[in-house]
A and B are shown apart, each in its own frame.
Chain A
Amino acid sequence: MAFDVETWVNVAAFVGGGTAMGFGAIGAAIGEGYTAADANLAISRNPAISGEIFKSMLVGQAIAESASIFALVIAMILLFTEFSNSSYITVCVLLASGLSMGLGAIGSGIGSGYPAAAACKGMARQPEMSGRLTTNMLIGSAVCQTPSIFALVTSFILLFTNFSGRPISPTWAAILGAGLSSGLAAIGSGLGGGLVAGASCEGISRQPLTVTPVTNVMLLGQAVTQTTAIYGLLVSFILMFKVFPETGSMAPPMALLGAGLCMGLGAIGPGVGEGCTAQNAVRWIARNEKATGDLTRIMLVGQAVAESTGIYALVISLILIFVV
């Protein structure tokens, strides 16, 4: 089947647009559903402040929605933009862009559901802490959204960079690898960051006096959890901006595609695991404020060990890009 390049560009645009919105719808819906579920339970527990709980639920759901809105934007751009420089690289750019934003929205969407749910539950338990709960929910959800913003940045750079000077092979694989790296890496970190934020809201509602250590450790734990998404973004940037020499064989393109897959998939596990660690650390600081120092130390040590496979994935990615 010999089609001209414009045909393949259109094919890639539509498949990419469909993929972006398809994947992008999953995470936010699950997160928002979780929030509404716990909000309803909270209202049944304390109907007197149902107004506050309802408002928090809607605000929290709006933040979870934002990642899907990014995916919708990318899908619309892919569907309706006339791409002027048609080449086989453009085909890969469109697919990669769709994959990056689509996959990137999953984790952040689900993750943002946790703090909103915990804030609603906390308000039922401790109505006086409503203001502080909302603040922690907003801070936690915002940090949780950062991996999807990394994926959005990658999508935009892919769409609007001029790749015309590059050789088709192996740049096609570098572009697909860049999209996969950012997109997949955002899944774990988004989810993990959300777990931590949820625990902080739960902890504050149980023990309002522990606001300061809980918030500090939440931010610290979330920062460590986000590191694997940063590795994914780093590998994406290297793949997008390094000019690779022309090659005729299959090995170099597969190395670059493999590098993207390696960092992308490899970032999922550590992201979720470190999130679970920080979640429990924050939860128990709220119950036992005196143990803050010990808990923080063990959280960081545990997260560092969990990070190890993520570092292996980063090293192998870099070897695939630079050495092989």
Chain B
Amino acid sequence: MAIEGMDIIKAAAFLGAGLSMGLGAIGPGVGEGMVAAKACEAIGKNPDEAGLLTRTMLVGQAVTESTGIYALVIALLLLFVV
């Protein structure tokens, strides 16, 4: 196999992108799931406040998503920019 130098750099960039997004998706998945689960419980205990609780759930999930977005940014940089 005669592999070029540039080739393996691209290969490493793709591997890095895969690692970044793959591992980076674990945390937000677990975290946002927990938020939604407790939101269901909260609304079950107090249905009158469903609007406020849903809004809080979405804000909480958005903040939790942020590290996943960082991982996505790094992955996109590795795929297209470097």
Name A's B-contacting residues (CB within 8 A). Answer: 1, 3-4, 6-7, 10-12, 14-19, 21-41, 43-45, 47, 50, 54, 57-58, 61, 65, 68, 71-72, 75-76, 79-80, 109
19 other A-B residue contacts (CB within 8 Å) besides A18-B74, A68-B67, A79-B82:
A14-B17, A15-B15, A18-B18, A21-B71, A22-B23, A24-B24, A28-B67, A29-B67, A32-B31, A33-B61, A38-B38, A40-B42, A41-B45, A44-B53, A47-B46, A68-B70, A71-B70, A79-B78, A80-B82
* Contact residues in B for A65 (Cβ distance below 8 Å): 63, 66-67
A273 to B30, CA, bound (A): 23
- Contact string, B1-17, partner A, CB cutoff 8 A, digits 1/0? 10101101101110111
A116 to B43, CA, bound (A): 21
The smallest beta-carbon distance between A141 and chain B, in angstroms, is: 15
- Whether A18 pairs with B63 at a CB distance below 8 angstroms is no
- Interface size bracket, B side: 35 or more
The smallest beta-carbon distance between B4 and chain A, in angstroms, is: 9
- Whether A14 pairs with B67 at a CB distance below 8 angstroms is no
* Contact residues in A for B5 (Cβ distance below 8 Å): 3-4, 6-7
Kindly identify which residue among B12, B37, B53 contacts A43, using a CB–CB cutoff of 8 Å. Answer: B53
17 contacts across the A-B interface (CB closer than 8 A):
A17-B74, A18-B20, A21-B71, A22-B20, A25-B25, A25-B27, A30-B30, A33-B33, A33-B35, A36-B64, A39-B60, A41-B41, A41-B42, A44-B49, A47-B49, A58-B63, A68-B67
- Whether A37 pairs with B39 at a CB distance below 8 angstroms is yes
The smallest beta-carbon distance between A70 and chain B, in angstroms, is: 11
A53 to B30, CA, bound (A): 22
A118 to B73, CA, bound (A): 32
- Whether A47 pairs with B45 at a CB distance below 8 angstroms is no
- Whether B60 pairs with A29 at a CB distance below 8 angstroms is no
Chain B residue with minimal CB distance to A54?
B56
Name B's A-contacting residues (CB within 8 A). Answer: 1, 3, 5-6, 8-9, 11-13, 15-35, 37-39, 41-43, 45-46, 49, 52-53, 56-57, 59-61, 63-68, 70-71, 74-75, 77-78, 82
A75 to B76, CA, bound (A): 13
- Whether A11 pairs with B38 at a CB distance below 8 angstroms is no
Known A-B contacts A26-B26, A34-B31, A36-B60; A19 and B49 likewise in contact (beta carbons under 8 Å): no
* Contact residues in A for B1 (Cβ distance below 8 Å): 1
A72 to B73, CA, bound (A): 10
* Contact residues in B for A26 (Cβ distance below 8 Å): 23-24, 26-27, 67
* Contact residues in A for B65 (Cβ distance below 8 Å): 29
- Whether A29 pairs with B30 at a CB distance below 8 angstroms is yes
The smallest beta-carbon distance between B49 and chain A, in angstroms, is: 5
- Whether A40 pairs with B57 at a CB distance below 8 angstroms is yes
The smallest beta-carbon distance between B52 and chain A, in angstroms, is: 6
Chain A residue with minimal CB distance to B50?
A44
A76 to B17, CA, bound (A): 13
Kindly identify which residue among B26, B31, B39 contacts A31, using a CB–CB cutoff of 8 Å. Answer: B31
- Whether B17 pairs with A18 at a CB distance below 8 angstroms is yes
Kindly identify which residue among B18, B35, B41, B70 contacts A72, using a CB–CB cutoff of 8 Å. Answer: B70
- Whether B23 pairs with A41 at a CB distance below 8 angstroms is no
The smallest beta-carbon distance between A41 and chain B, in angstroms, is: 5
Kindly identify which residue among A4, A22, A30 contacts B71, using a CB–CB cutoff of 8 Å. Answer: A22
* Contact residues in B for A75 (Cβ distance below 8 Å): 20, 74
The smallest beta-carbon distance between A99 and chain B, in angstroms, is: 11
- Whether A35 pairs with B46 at a CB distance below 8 angstroms is no
Chain B residue with minimal CB distance to A58?
B63
Chain B residue with minimal CB distance to A46?
B46
- Whether A44 pairs with B23 at a CB distance below 8 angstroms is no
- Whether A30 pairs with B31 at a CB distance below 8 angstroms is yes
Chain B residue with minimal CB distance to A67?
B67
